Amino acid sequence: MAVFKNQNSTLKDSGENPRETKNRARNVLKATIDEGFKGQLLRDYLRNELKLSGRNMKRLAMDRQIFIGRKSVRIDYKIRGGETLLVNLDREEEQDMVAVPMDLTIVYEDSSLVVVDKPPFLVVHPTRNHHEDTLTNGLLHYFKQRNDPSIVRLVSRLDMNTSGLVLVAKNQFTHSAFARYRGKEKTVKTYLAITQGIWQDKQGTIDAAIYWPNPEDYRRCVHGLGQPSVTHFKVLEEFSGFSLVEFILETGRTHQIRVHSTYLGHPIVGDELYEGPLLGDHPRQFLHAWQLQFIHPMTKEKIKLQADLPEDMKQFILSNGGNLP
């Protein structure tokens, strides 16, 4: 049974000619190896119990960041049972992107991940049309200002005009852990959207495959040839012919909520791509990544986070006689 701890540790390597290890390690996996693993190779324990990838193991071994007690060991080390294993995940990395000063709203941060409340109209990562004005560029500058050696590894992404919580891993182990969580109910994403019309069913599940028929067109649609896609919904508020709806994603397809709500005849207000109503000065879809719940890959704690509705959505609800959630 592996017990992981995210701790500040002082690691010293007593092996021959080790590479220098930072005195203040920020991200350390610690496990007491059970007697039942006696005789097994350490690489198998690292792969099966700590869920390290082969690539990650190779890099950690080359950097001599795997320790039994206070001595660095190779991954072909034969386990005796009862040892204390330490794996230092810290690594100085470079990302070939420009670091750009940016006002960021940090909702949560520790040494292995950060969660940002992204405003609308901000692209998450560089594209052909957005080279330096993205959330990724802003986070790189944020890390550099804090002498944080991390690079940006996006766990979740949002469309440019969607606001709300974006989860970013600071190391490869954390990023890989979230990838393993997909479909296992260890990460729950809850969105709020203002949609057109009054829903007949106030709560339910949309189980409809999403298909991308034309790669030259951004639009997706519901079609039997598509990928399985499941969205849970609950109507929270009805006002002036609109509905404030909570959506929870079971799968994570591109434009999933936008496609599913349109499929049921309730497109999102401001969503021009999917024929949502364009009313007044509201040039974006009213979709917000509201809540995020996940099991922390390092500490195994349950983390629950929330980002308040942005002002444009608040004002639309209030000006049309609705109540805020």
266-274: which pairs have CB atoms within 8 A and are 24 or more residues apart?
A: 266/195, 266/196, 266/197, 266/199, 267/195, 267/196, 268/193, 268/194, 268/195, 268/196, 269/194, 269/195, 269/196, 269/242, 269/316, 270/161, 273/218, 273/219, 274/219
Which listed residue (159, 207, 281, 312) is catalytic? 159
Burial of 281-306, coded b for 16+ CB within 10 Å and e otherwise, reads ebebbbbbbbbbbbbbbbeeeebeee
To the nearest 10°, report the CA torsion of 59, 64, 66, 67: 180
Rounded to 5 degrees, what angle do the CA atoms 116, 289, 89 make?
A: 40
pLDDT tens, 191-231? 999 999 999 999 999 999 999 999 889 999 999 999 999 99
* Average pLDDT value for the chain: 89
Lowest pLDDT segment from 5-19, 134-148, 219-233? 5-19
Tokens of 286: 């009213």
**Is the model's pLDDT at 12 over the cut of 60?**
no
Q: How confident is the model at residue 20 (pLDDT cuts 50, 70, 90)?
A: very low
Backbone angles phi, psi at 191, to 5 degrees: -115, 155
pLDDT tens, 42-80? 999 999 999 898 888 988 999 999 999 889 999 999 999
| Residue 41, helix vs strand vs coil | strand
> Alpha helix locations (H) across 42-197?
42-48, 54-62, 135-145, 172-181
Backbone torsion region of residue 233, taken as left when φ is above 0, otherwise alpha when ψ lies between -120 and 50, otherwise beta? beta
Residue 281: the pLDDT is: 75
Q: What is the CATH number of domain 182-319?
A: 3.30.2350.10
Residue 54: the pLDDT is: 86
Single out the residue of 317, 254, 305, 309 nearest to residue 287, CA to CA: 309
Single out the residue of 74, 113, 61, 79 nearest to residue 2, CA to CA: 79
Residue 95: the pLDDT is: 87
For CATH 3.10.290.10, the residue range(s) in the chain are 1-90
Strand-pair category, 242-249 with 187-196: antiparallel
CA distance 18 to 319: 65
Superfamily of domain 1-90: RNA-binding S4 domain (3.10.290.10)
Q: The whole model's pTM is what? A: 0.85
Residue 27: the pLDDT is: 85
For CATH 3.30.2350.10, the residue range(s) in the chain are 182-319
Known catalytic residue: 159?
Answer: yes
pLDDT tens, 269-300? 999 999 998 887 768 999 999 999 999 998 88
Single out the residue of 80, 141, 66, 149 nearest to residue 106, CA to CA: 141
**Is the model's pLDDT at 16 over the cut of 90?**
no
Q: How confident is the model at residue 3 (pLDDT cuts 50, 70, 90)?
A: very low
